[in-house]
Structures are given as structure tokens and as C-alpha cells.
Amino acid sequence: MVVGIIDYGAGNIFSVEQALRDLGAVPEIVSGLTNLNDKDALVLPGVGAFRFAMESLSAAHLDEGLREWVRLGRPLLGICLGMQLLFDSSEEGEGVAGLGLLHGSVRRFPRESTPTVPHMGWNMVHFKKGSRLGTEDKYFYFAHSYFCNPESDEIVAGVTYHGVSFPSIVEVPGRRLFGVQFHPEKSGPDGLELLKAFLREASYQC
């Protein structure tokens, strides 16, 4: 399976590439529309700022490419900032629209009720019943200051607590659109198991 890794200049490409290769996939870097549609699945990784990421995706016309990809029902996984970019907007980049593939906004952790901002390190993910990415609660590695606030709880497939409860996994029922707020590529064997589950979902109908 050929998995495209979207490169919008924010780094963190190598660790995702290596994790996918360890699982037997063939990772290929995608930086424009010309090498997008021959992939079996896409990963939208994330390190950096919401505004910069969206401006970079737009400059390469990858924003429209990703919207069309999802419209066609093809598999996509957003990681950390990549998950946040799936939503309509973010407090981190006010005035800049996200991809709008999921409805809702991205909010900054409230300092008055959050132990530390950014939220960095290992934390528990509580999988909801029916999640296609996992069943047993496990620890994954987080590094973020913002969290997603979906309009509908229907897409929330995993929850984590850090001063507030926030969605750490989103899945669209009946579609192959996923997002994780943590970094599975930096989360050891459990992270690889989650990526394997995504590849398994991505293989359907490919």
C-alpha cells in the first residue's frame, strides 16, 4: 500500500515515514497535486501553527485536493495539527479557515484549569465503543496547546483528560476519515498498532 505523507513545510515527516515503513507500507512524500491521486491513503501530519499550515496547503492547492480526496471517500488520517486542520477554524489562526472536513473549532487549553500548556508527554486515551482504531485504553504521546471542539459528539472516538476532557480521536462513521491529537509515530508499539489499524481501514475498497 502506497501512503502519501502531506508535506507542508512543518517538519515531522521522517518519524511518520519510518513508522509506516516499519508496518510494511510504502510511504511517499506529497508536496503538490501532481503526486496525490496515485496514493492508496494519505496522512496529514502536524507540527507547527494552524495559520502557516493552511497557507502552505493553499499555496500548493493541496487544500482543495484534500477536500476532493475526502469527498471521494478515500482514506485520510490527520495527526496532531493535522487533525486540527480538518476542522472549520482555530483560535490559533483566527480569520483563517481550516479544511472544513469536520465541523467545529479548535480552542486553546484554558490556563486556569489546565496543569500545563502546552500539554506534552504521555497521557491516557479512552477509546469509545465502536472505534475502528482501537478498543483498549492506552497511553500515547502528546505535544499540543490547542484541542478540537467538534459540533457533534458522533465523531468522537477517543477522549483524554488534561485539565479538561477533549477529543483525542475522531472518526467519521461510515467513512475513512480519522484524526488523532497525539503522535502515534512517537508512541512505541501501541502507536504502531493504531497506525496498523488505520492501514487496515484504508485497505478496504482500495
Report the catalytic residues: 80, 183, 185
Q: Which residue has the cell 488534561?
A: 162
Query: How far apart are alpha carbons 12 and 7 in whole angstroms?
Result: 9
By CB atoms closer than 10 A (0-12, 13-18, 19+), residue 205 is exposed
Nearest to 136 by CA among 153, 116, 158: 158
By CB atoms closer than 10 A (0-12, 13-18, 19+), residue 100 is middle
Angle between helices 50-59 and 62-71 (to 10 degrees): 90
